[in-house]
Amino acid sequence: MIILASNLWIEYQTKDRLYSDVNAIPAKRVALVLGTSKRLRYRRINRYFKYRIDAVVKLYKAGKIKHIIASGDNRTIYHNEPVDMQKSLMAQGIPKEAISLDYAGFRTLDSVVRCKEIFSQDNIIIVSQAFHNKRAIFISDYYGIKAIGFNARDLSFSAGKKVVLREYFARFKAVLDLYILKTKPKFLGEKVEIPDH
């Protein structure tokens, strides 16, 4: 019941702040792109990764954002989500100077909090799949960040059912982290300035 209530809470609180139409979403200076692995087993491309990159490129080229924070995990030299995102964005014509890398986005909570505390951004577009955007906006609300979500293309239920199930429990964990455990990001550190464009 508690897990179900957590999911319903997040759904209700965030339902009016998700956009899938690039023409309908309000413009903001910065987009926060949430990381995931570029490759799956056997070097297959991760479509969650590809579709997030495609979505943020669409925002940038439509003039809806001026800067991108690519936030993800950088735990080993072989697993560097921010750099993978940067390379993929640049391959689609996004200039390097329009991208800032957050190497300590180990979890969604870390990415959202660091966006405010390290990059000084509290009015953002979050880019991920809709199910993920909802949780990220919920976390943003707790920290006083004005966030809306731009939904990257999702996978079919049959292709993404494991992720959907994992998200169900991740939402309960988000409520637990924020309201019970008061979980903090693993790392904070020095401020990073977003350049004017």
What are 103-121's pLDDT values in tens digits? 999 999 999 999 999 999 9
Question: Is residue 140 in a domain?
Answer: yes
Question: Mean pLDDT of all residues in the chain?
Answer: 94
Question: Burial level of 113, CB count in 10 A (0-12/13-18/19+)?
Answer: buried
d(CA 22, CA 189): 34
171: helix, coil or strand? helix
Q: Per-residue confidence at 161, pLDDT binned at 50, 70, 90? A: confident
DSSP 30-48: EEEEEP--SB-GGG-B-HH
More confident residue, 56 or 40: 56
- Where residue 151 sits, what CATH number does that domain have? 3.40.50.620
Confidence tier at 74 by pLDDT (50, 70, 90)? confident
Evaluate whether residue 12 is within a structural domain.
yes
* Tokens, residue 130: 């809709």
Q: How far apart are CA 60 and CA 115, in angstroms?
A: 18
164: pLDDT confidence band, cut at 50, 70 and 90? confident
In a domain, 189, yes or no: no
Contact 93, 59 (CB under 8 A): no
> Quick one: average pLDDT of 29-58?
94
CA angle 173–182–81, rounded 5-degree value = 60
pLDDT for 177 beyond 90: yes
CB-hemisphere CA count at 13 Å for 114? Answer: 27
Give a yes or no: residue 78 inside a domain.
yes
The 10 Å Cβ neighbour count of residue 71 is 28
Tell me how many domains the chain contains. Answer: 1
Residues in a beta bridge with 30: 67, 124
Position with higher pLDDT, 114 vs 160: 114
In a domain, residue 187? The reply is no
pLDDT > 90? residue 194: yes
Cite the DSSP H helix spans in the chain.
2-14, 47-61, 81-91, 108-117, 130-142, 157-176
Residue 171 covered by a domain = yes
Interacting residues of 34 by C-beta distance below 8 A, sequence separation 6+: 52, 71, 72, 105, 108, 111, 126, 127, 128, 132, 136
Question: In the chain, what percentage of residues exceed pLDDT 90?
Answer: 86
Structural domain that includes position 31: 2-181
Residue 194 lies in a domain: no
Inside any domain, residue 54? yes
Residues 30-52 as b/e (b if ≥16 CB within 10 A, e otherwise) read: bbbbbbbebeeeeeeeebbbebb
